[in-house]
Structures are given as structure tokens and as C-alpha cells.
Amino acid sequence: MVPTVPRILLFGRIVLDHRFWVEEFPPRTSRTLCEEYLEDLGGPAAVASVTVAQLGGEAVFIGYRGDDPAGDRVETLLRSRGVDSRYLAVIPGARTPVAVVLIDPRGERFIFRHDGSPPPQSIEAVPLHELDRCDVVLVDSRWPKTAEALARGARARGLPVVLDFDVDTAETWAVAAVASHVIADEEMASRCGGVEALLRQLAAFGAWGAVTLGSSGVAYMGGFLPAFRVRVRDTTGAGDVFHGAFALALAEHRAEVDALHFASAVAALRCHLGRVPDRLEVTRFLRARA
């Protein structure tokens, strides 16, 4: 029997990143020579979708872009990474979000973001029929009303729903109440009274929760996993990569803590390599640290 490829439906934001590696930040002069430059994809769900595809899963991305050169570029980049972009909507007259990312010698990134045109309140053409052909759904916090509708459709079909939880609004909490798995970042936990308080609130919803803590590791209800130690080149998008890898691991029927371990390895390699790793690189990395 030919094994099936896990299929992940990902809904949320896409951004065109312009990344510059600088010798120091903040700079001491008005002109600073950059060591390296890279144009790449940003946005939580978009980077997660690239991660799924790079690791051997099938990624279907749902989102929007403007009808501008930046929009053309993000769609080209998405397709070149093996992501199904058929549901990337083009909004007439809109400008695609862009960001300048400065990366210092420690690999820490500083993001200067322009959100483009005001995003639509919702994306109407969400393909709910695609839920019948996928294994896991991942949503970020950007269009919470549409994300909630997608999450409800997925849960009604018995599918896991992973929420990348980094916006503290009533609308995103409504999504958290529907999702089966919620992964927040440290800043979100700080706004909610701390890691333990946030995890307790998620558990009260019936969701399995975790909080990523950067280089310290990841906390979950009843446990903690330390981060893998690597030499860091670029931390940009490490959390987004983490979420994509976690969703793929769930689609492969891994238990949550095993999925966290796998996602931590993928995110660490992302920081070390400055790009999303492939499956062989992750396998070798984990074997070397077994």
C-alpha cells in the first residue's frame, strides 16, 4: 500500500520579507553596509505552509494578497516552495504586506512591518469542501471570524485544529475556544498573566495548550521541553516554522509531546541554517542528539 501524504490546510497571513544581516544594531552611523540580503516569505500561516511542504507534507494555503508586484512575488515564492496556492485571493486595489527585517550578529531579528492595505474583515471564498480532504487545519490570529468558521467546520469533521495564538482579542479567544491545539508565544502569555495562567485558561476551554519560550524551550500543561542548542544565524519565523512542524506531526498521528519535540528540532534548525530544513536534515539532527 502506498502511504498517504499528510494534507494540511493553512489559513492566514502572507508577507514579503526583505531581510538584511547587519554588523551591529542599532547602527552608530546613518549609513550601514549589510553583510547579506535575502527576499523571502513572511507571515505566520504562509511560513508554516512552506514548512509543511519542505518536510514532505501537502500544504494548501488560504489567504489574500494585493494586486501589486509584492503580491506577485509572494505567490511565486509560495508556489516555488511546493505550496498549493490556488486559494490565495487577489484583492483588487490592495497592497501586499511587506516587512524589513534586520538581523544582528547574534541572529536576533528586528522587524519593521508595513501592513499594506487594510485587510478584509473576512475572506469569503474559504473552501470548506477542502476540509473533507485534509488531516489537520492550522489558522493564525489574523482573520479570527473566518478562522473560527473554518475551525468549526474542521472540528465538526473530527479534525485537529491548531491555532497560532499571538493576538489578545475577544475574537481570537473565540477561535481558541474552538481549536483543539493552541500554541501561544511568550509575549501572549505575559499579557494573560503568565504561562501557567494561560495554559489553565486554554485547558478550561478543552484545548491542549503550549507556550513557546524562544531559546528557553516550550512549556505545556504538566511539562516543559528545553530548546535544542544551536549556533544561531537567523531567528526570523522560527515560531511560524514551529507551528507548521507541529501541525504536520499531528497529521502523522504523533502524540502532542512528541510533536513538540519534533517541532522544536525543526525550529532550531531554521535558526541555525537561516532557512526551513528538509526532512532528511531534521532526521539527521535528531539522531545526532538522541
Structural domains present in the chain: 7-14+42-96+121-288 (3.40.1190.20)
Candidates 117, 116, 118, 112; CA nearest to 99 is 112
Q: pLDDT by residue (tens digit) across 26-39? A: 888 888 889 899 99
Candidates 93, 96, 40; CA nearest to 237 is 40
Q: pLDDT by residue (tens digit) across 142-164? A: 889 899 999 999 999 999 999 99
The C-alpha atoms of residue 243 and residue 46 are separated, in whole angstroms, by 11
* pLDDT for the residue numbered 33: 86
Band (267; pLDDT cuts 50, 70, 90): very high
Q: What phi, psi does 209 have (nearest 5°)?
A: -120, 155
